[in-house]
Amino acid sequence: MTRWGILATGRIAGDFVSDLQLLPDAQVTAVGSRRLDTAQAFASRFGIGSAYGSWEDLAASTDVDVIYVATPHSSHHAATMVCLSAGKAVLCEKPFTLDVATSLDLMTTARSRGLFLMEAMWMRCNPTIRHAQSLVADGVIGEVTHVTADFGVAGPFEPAHRLRAPSLGGGALLDLGVYPITLAHLFLGVPAGIVSWASLWPEGTDSNTAVVLSYASGAVATVHCGGLGETAQRATITGTLGRIEIDPPFWRTHGLTLVANGQTTRVDLPMRGNGLGYEAEETMRCLKAGLTESPVIPHEATLDVMRTLDAVRTQIGVTYPEPT
């Protein structure tokens, strides 16, 4: 039985705990927040035995094997470092941190302590996405020439909203764009060239962003993210012999359509619960195997995506204040 601690009490934390409760080998034993009353309310809601009023107290708990960090991403580095410093394995929400430097700092710390650490990029563990990877690896659609994906949501969002506020790492790119950029990385790897454009909210974070990625193979990826309107949230992987159309919303998809060899084939892979349990299963599999890094979401893949996000942010002129 793997004992989970939950750091933060927002919507994503609740969805994650709901999915953990569907797994027979997982037990949520503790929750921690910066406010004890918030942690206690969350614990009461989900039947969790221990509630702590600080990250440090949660990290020090002897009844926890691994901690899921579900804070806003502006706090991912600080919260994860608290957990690693206390000797705890960590599954940290995406985007892993705000930039490459802080991501690398966490990974270096985890490696030096022999601790498991993984970005909670749940899309990479989705059964449909993994099936699409298998199809591509088997050469079913030939050499991949183009990946396209969009993730736009409808506002309006208040200036203090996490999608807008610089202090929360706001902007469509890190909150939403991390998904299509991760998808492009899954099927095309590290880009050779990056060209991007964005409109910005008055706060200086991006509200509507387009990115074109080019690759040494000659392939390209076109991605979009934004907070000005709900897009179709579709994704397509095109190859020399066919294409894979991932059902929307692609980042939490339930199936795909394969078009190849003159035939169209449906593949339906209904997602269990909220779709977050698969990354928990991968975490627990790695812990049981004594791994400190997941082959499904390796550190280098997280860094590759973060390097692309950093490059795009530089091009569109989005910066964040120094953490306090």
Cα–Cα distance between 137 and 272 in angstroms, integer?
Answer: 25
| Residue 92 and residue 269 in contact, taking contact as beta carbons nearer than 8 Å | no
Instruction: Indicate which residue of 94, 162, 164, 299 is catalytic.
Output: 94
Dihedral (CA of 82, 85, 91, 92) sign:
positive
Cα–Cα distance between 194 and 184 in angstroms, integer?
Answer: 12
Cα–Cα distance between 168 and 104 in angstroms, integer?
Answer: 20
Counting Cβ atoms within 10 Å, is residue 222 exposed (0-12), middle (13-18) or buried (19+)?
middle
Q: In this structure, what are the phi and psi dihedrals at residue 293, rounded to the nearest 5 degrees?
A: -150, 140
Pairing of strands 66-69, 2-7: parallel
Cα–Cα distance between 313 and 264 in angstroms, integer?
Answer: 39
Question: In Å, how far are 159, 240, 250 from 260, measured between CA atoms?
Answer: 46, 10, 20
Residue 154 amino acid letter: A
| Residue 98 and residue 74 in contact, taking contact as beta carbons nearer than 8 Å | yes
| Residue 70 and residue 16 in contact, taking contact as beta carbons nearer than 8 Å | yes
Helix (H) or strand (E) holding 185: helix 178-188
| Residue 159 and residue 134 in contact, taking contact as beta carbons nearer than 8 Å | no
Q: Is 288 a catalytic residue?
A: no
Q: Which residues are catalytic?
A: 94
